[in-house]
A and B are shown apart, each in its own frame.
Chain A
């Protein structure tokens, strides 16, 4: 169970997140859509403290913190309940595919190396990259890198997986394989919060869709409602622009 109350963040005095309230049930798949610059990335990054929110209560599983006075220990604990999949993959350049997945297990979770290695190889097999275990990111295609990135997040066993436009940086030919892998992740009843511009995919995978604008959640509901019968004029305009 994830619960967020009054999450706020500003950059240079401009509010980018304006008091976000959000509850996500275990196993729920929530997709965030909205125009550029409305704080979608900032929302995800704040939940991982890559951006530090100024205010708000965040509760993920047994970790609960108040953003206004979060200690380092609390921030680390929160990060260990979340896994982040980056738009630009952000694989460790000095680690092979296998080592990228092992890194958090060994260094952060203290899993013994042989166990971590076995887990990493299992995950790689699931991402379809078993034969790339010993390759460095620089020698992988964008799609392969992103699949390792998702594998790295999967291996963490995190309460919440955050995806920030995981296919936006990919050549169109690689988008399909990454979306397929995300469907596989969803089948595990993994709780997911996904920012994406792939509306077809959103419609199909989401239990709930959030439409954000100006740092607020303007409208939310099941995909049939959001895409089929949008109420807020801003959402209607956004969808209309997309379909043109």
Chain B
């Protein structure tokens, strides 16, 4: 089967590639051995942030190279690394309070609310929305809205005032997970039981069973209903 080839311009150089390929596979088809700009190849790691433009169209588009199919006359480049600001902190001594957020990321208050970050987000997150929540000091809201962030860095790369949105977001998620999420009593109880050695005997017994006895135990397990 011969497939239709379309021209794409990788960092300005023309290559003709099969029209069905993702940007990532097109680069490999063109002869690149990828080292930067590739990780999971499945849309989870954010290594493959890519910026492109289409001929005759003045819009700048953003996407993940592993998830975006090439288009004819696409002009593209990858931004596998962006030198964004990351604050120094020790999560175990922080307090989940707005002032801490502002002192660690003072530039947060410079956010213009222009929404360029939202347009750049390949996960289609409401970045501007969570930045607004961050400015209000609403840590739980930031954690919720930013949850699907894969930290590709495109938001920071596009921000006119140099925010590091994704770093602010992970700080909020960590603060939420550690300090604000409701505690799990059943987990605490289980930990206490384990510390008290409550399961040691059961484990010793299981380890001492013969293969046949073990198989019989396994077969006799009660399965908790769905």
Do A and B truly interact?
no
